Structure 1
């Protein structure tokens, strides 16, 4: 199929510092024997990189600091095929995420927002046919502004789970969460379309709280789950905006997420979106 998605991602850009250990420490406990790695991250940047590698025309709106990490984060996005002209340079350091990952791929993450607090869209123009994907690692004021200004299709990955203004919930064309976030945000039961991921139990689309599509997960033993949700968000958005039915888009997004958990990086080098489709895929304009 032809990928038909001009996508702008508005969100966070982080430098990830990851410690891989046999198990995650309990409160107050020190766990030794870890392996340290540094890599590009941030929910927004991860989603933009995934979308570009999957074949969408993707630009990133965000902010980095005037430091070596900021320059490296922009370069990594460019290498993934993302347009970086709308990434601003803030006066504070580039955002940083401190990550711990255990042998089963489970993780704990602490984020220091840094330059992400300076993300704004005052000077950004959005086209009528443009899809905008954002997350909650940036200011809620920016999310509200996107809800008011974006003329096209607006997707919100409501992570981390924070209460959304009612007008944002009403405006969003699609909200993406995991099952924990969905439980923490009961207001999403009134949203027009919500995608919920259930880990090994698959994913679903809900309209005003009623399930309208479901797809099984692919069985995998994760290496790391850090970038899986971001990859799912990018793939589902591309699938729906390219005309796939809800079920077909979920199946493709589940496959992309399954590929992501088998890679220790938060930014796997995905194949083109077509690779994750099955032969029975049909298209529909119902989700547009």
Structure 2
């Protein structure tokens, strides 16, 4: 099999993680059990996850000239993710303040830092990277104008683009007709106009591409676009569902990013949509069994062994 090539554009954060029995209410202080500093950021998480799954990954991002930024660049090199397209700018690296409770639920505050300095001009310099990619992946932790430029360049080079609309925010209406795959969680899907009672079919109706809604332990809702339906010879129309894998939950921090990466890698390998989603679900399931963001991301052999064990 030809090694899949991904272009991931997005954020780099230092994740400062506190583990406690429960997440405090407003104005309340609770005693934590332990603390760690780990590499994070949705863009970096997805790029590193795809790298561990065997893809050739080009990652476009930005870090500060502080200790966190230097550590991030070295971490990427040490873990097989070439940071040539990650620029270093004056100021602080992005930081995420994360609290994780004993059930694996989390609460996150993100300070963007250098991520706000990733600009459309940085993408214009990367035309060759868009041309070489099988799939382009982006999220919403960088400026909205940069996301718009990524969509424009993916169209220019005729590359399928996955948009993970997180953190949740409203999107320009024309984007819904221009992206190949929209991958929100259920809260993000609702903010974008989807109705849970209708299984978000109203959101799918706005899309030219395919909708994939991740719902944690409730699994994944999805609907194929007309092109994929025709290619797979399967009926479209209603939302379909893939159940979640049952695993012990330690930390859900990077589950969504692990899912997006697994999905992108599987699509780049040419897998049918439903098969790609099952692979992505396995990647996400394994990620929640370990603590931290990038420290929890599984390798390809772990995913394949896991799937073989449940067939």
The TM-score, its normalising length taken from structure 1, stands at 0.91
Q: Does 1:266 align with 2:293?
A: yes
Segment drifting more, 191-200 vs 223-232:
191-200
Matched positions, count: 278
Give the equivalent residue in structure 2 for 1:140. 144
1:277, distance to aligned residue in structure 2 (A): 7.8
* C-alpha distance in structure 1 between counterparts of 2:293 and 2:306, whole Å: 22
Distance 1:51 1:160 in 2: 20
Residue-by-residue CA offset, 1:68-100 (whole Å, 9 max, x unaligned): 110111122223321211101111210000000
Q: 1:197 to 1:210 in 2, by over 3 A?
A: farther
Aligned-pair CA distance for 1:3: 5.8
Within a 5 Å distance, the mapping from 1:118-133 to structure 2 comes to 118-120=117-119, 121-125=123-127, 126-127=130-131, 129-133=133-137
In structure 2, the residue matched to 1:233 is: 260
Relative distance call for 1:254 and 1:269 in structure 2 (3 A) is closer
The equivalent residue for 1:216 is 243
Q: Is the 8 A contact 1:95 1:111 kept in 2?
A: yes
Matches for 1:82-101 after TM superposition, within 5 Å: 82-101=81-100
Q: Distance in 2 between matches of 1:131 and 1:92?
A: 31
User: Residue 84 of structure 1: SS of its match in structure 2?
Assistant: coil
Deviation at 1:176, TM superposition (A): 0.7
- The answer to which structure has the higher strand fraction is 1
1:1-288 aligned at under 5 Å gives the runs 2=1, 4-120=3-119, 121-125=123-127, 126-127=130-131, 129-150=133-154, 151=157, 152-186=159-193, 188-189=203-204, 190-191=206-207, 192-207=209-224, 210-211=237-238, 213-267=240-294, 268-272=296-300, 275=304, 278=307
Partner Cα separation in structure 1 for residue 28 and residue 256 of structure 2 = 28
DSSP-derived class of the 1:225 partner: coil
How far apart are 1:59 and its partner, in Å? 1.4
**Residue matched to 2:231:** none
Q: Which has the higher helix share?
A: 2
The answer to whether the 8 Å contact 2:18/2:32 transfers is: no
Contact (CA 8 Å) 1:239, 1:252: kept in 2 or not? yes
* 8 A contact 1:52–1:82 mirrored in 2: yes
Kindly report the root-mean-square deviation, in angstroms, between the aligned alpha carbons of the 2 structures. 1.9
TM-score, normalised by the number of residues in structure 2: 0.84
Tell me how far 1:155 sits from its aligned partner.
1.0
**Aligned CA distance change for structure 1 residues 242 and 130 (closer, same or farther; 3 Å):** closer
Q: Which runs of 5+ in 2 are unaligned?
A: 195-202, 226-235
Residue 43 (structure 1) shift: 0.4
